Amino acid sequence: MYAYAENQYLPSVLRAFALSLAFAFLGVMAGVFIPPALFLPLAILEIALLFGAFFLRRKKAIGYTFLYTFTFISGITTYPIVAHYLATAGASVVLLAVGTTAVVFTGLAIYGTTTKRDFSFLGGMLIAALLALIVISIYNIFFPINSTGMLAFSFIGVLVFSGFVLYDFNRMKQYGVTAEEVPLMALNLYLDFINLFISLLRIFGILSSDD
């Protein structure tokens, strides 16, 4: 009974996560109509919301409105990346990235929630790796990395965000989720999914251009 009480909100997290993906998809569709000059301000707004989420999570004050607003804006800012690879690599590469992301995400989710192992020890390493990826991303803005470097960067991204998927699902299984934490956990899963997708899209895009 206690284990059930701990995990009774996991379906709620998955529903909120699925809705987050739906809002992000609507954002990508809306991106078609957004003037190019607005993408940078929207990206800055997205980063500001992420920082806001970092502080709000301590108070468990992240609600569904914040979650769906953020994921919609995230979808808009993802549009230029998707549009770039649609134009340079084709729809098949984008669909391959979506499909691979879904398979990897689902596989890790199942393993994370069924294994008896506790992966809490991954938390510190994943945060350190994420900070390194952020630093490299900022460096890339001013000093663009070549395709080989970007390929290596993207492979590391796949490993890091795959690790976050495993860590987040395993943490929910080990420690449970309260009703107040549902939007926050759905946001974590959304960030895992979208960053895994972008990393895989870069890999498939780069590999297809080398053919």
Residues of the chain with pLDDT under 70: 1-6, 56-61, 210-211
Domain boundaries, the chain: 2-209
Closest CA to 69 of 46, 41, 39, 40: 46
How would you class 173 by CB atoms within 10 Å of its CB: exposed for 0-12, middle for 13-18, buried for 19 or more? buried
Q: Could you give phi then psi for residue 156, rounded to 5 degrees?
A: -65, -40
- Please tell me the pTM assigned to this model: 0.92
- Which pLDDT score, from 0 to 100, does residue 83 have? 96
- pLDDT tens-digit profile of 133-156? 999 998 988 899 999 999 999 999
- Which pLDDT score, from 0 to 100, does residue 138 have? 87
